[in-house]
């Protein structure tokens, strides 16, 4: 695990930065795919966990959520509009993705459904971070923002790698996995305008360059 900012750790993974999981204080943010349980347990180890929160309910973020909540005896929190997906389907489906891809994700990645103890909405506080509603990539997508040192955990509103090829660099998440790309671009503009000193992505390396983020977002269509 690597400490990126005060109390903000990024778990190691392989390949590095491909599917990111963060430990913020005593809260685990996102849980990778179903295969990530051992990776999380190994790294979180004997530390206390108080909560597990999701940026959104896609299978590469909620895959190990049920297992982690059971093992650590912690509640699961997520953005309000993603609650039904977490509780019933075990993850948001992607109607725009080819069915073979959805099937493969379900078979290898998607975790079981799990009850949500708290539906997070705009302005609530988690571990000193403010919840921001950032819909588009999923209806209930949220980001976590700590203004004191300008740290942002932004899930998949933007990726800092091409998730199809693994090539590093800023990208919007593929439309195939994003039910409302225009709304997601609006969320991306909102986040870039915060000028985060450190941006932590669901996919890709952390970015400490608010200008680059602003330039990239400025180049997007309305």
Binding site for Zn ion (CB under 5 A): 60, 156, 202
Which CB, 175 or 215, lies closer to Zn ion?
175
Which CB, 27 or 178, lies closer to Zn ion?
178
Residue 137 beta carbon to Zn ion: minimum distance, rounded to whole angstroms: 8
Residue 180, classified by CB atoms within 10 Å of its CB into exposed (0-12), middle (13-18) or buried (19+), is: middle
Q: For residues 53 and 77, is the Cβ–Cβ distance under 8 A? A: yes
Residue 30 beta carbon to Zn ion: minimum distance, rounded to whole angstroms: 8
Which CB, 78 or 125, lies closer to Zn ion?
78
Residue 20 beta carbon to Zn ion: minimum distance, rounded to whole angstroms: 9
Determine the Cα–Cα distance for residues 124 and 89; give it in Å rounded to an integer.
26
CB atoms within 10 A of CB 200: 26
Residue 159 beta carbon to Zn ion: minimum distance, rounded to whole angstroms: 8
Determine the Cα–Cα distance for residues 60 and 121; give it in Å rounded to an integer.
22
Which CB, 27 or 62, lies closer to Zn ion?
62
């Amino acid at each position: 695990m690597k400490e990126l900012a005060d109390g903000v750790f990024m778990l190691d993974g392989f390949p590095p930065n491909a599917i990111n999981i963060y430990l913020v204080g005593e809260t685990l943010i996102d849980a990778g795919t179903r295969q990530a349980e051992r990776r999380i347990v190994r790294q979180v180890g004997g530390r206390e966990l108080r909560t597990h929160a999701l940026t959104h309910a896609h299978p590469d973020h909620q895959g190990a959520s049920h297992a982690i909540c059971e093992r650590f005896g912690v509640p699961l929190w997520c953005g309000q509009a993603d609650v039904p997906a977490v509780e019933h389907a075990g993850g948001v489906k992607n109607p725009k993705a080819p069915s073979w891809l959805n099937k493969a994700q379900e078979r290898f990645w998607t975790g079981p459904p799990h009850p949500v103890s708290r539906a997070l909405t705009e302005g609530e506080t988690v571990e000193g971070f403010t919840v921001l509603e950032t819909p588009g990539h999923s209806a209930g997508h949220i980001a976590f923002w700590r203004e004191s040192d300008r740290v942002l955990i932004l899930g998949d509103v933007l990726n800092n790698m091409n998730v199809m090829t693994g090539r590093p660099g800023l990208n919007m998440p593929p439309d195939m996995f994003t039910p409302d790309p225009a709304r997601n671009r609006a969320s991306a503009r909102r986040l870039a305008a915060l000028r985060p000193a450190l941006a932590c992505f669901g996919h890709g390396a952390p970015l400490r360059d608010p200008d680059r983020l602003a330039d990239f977002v400025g180049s997007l269509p309305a």
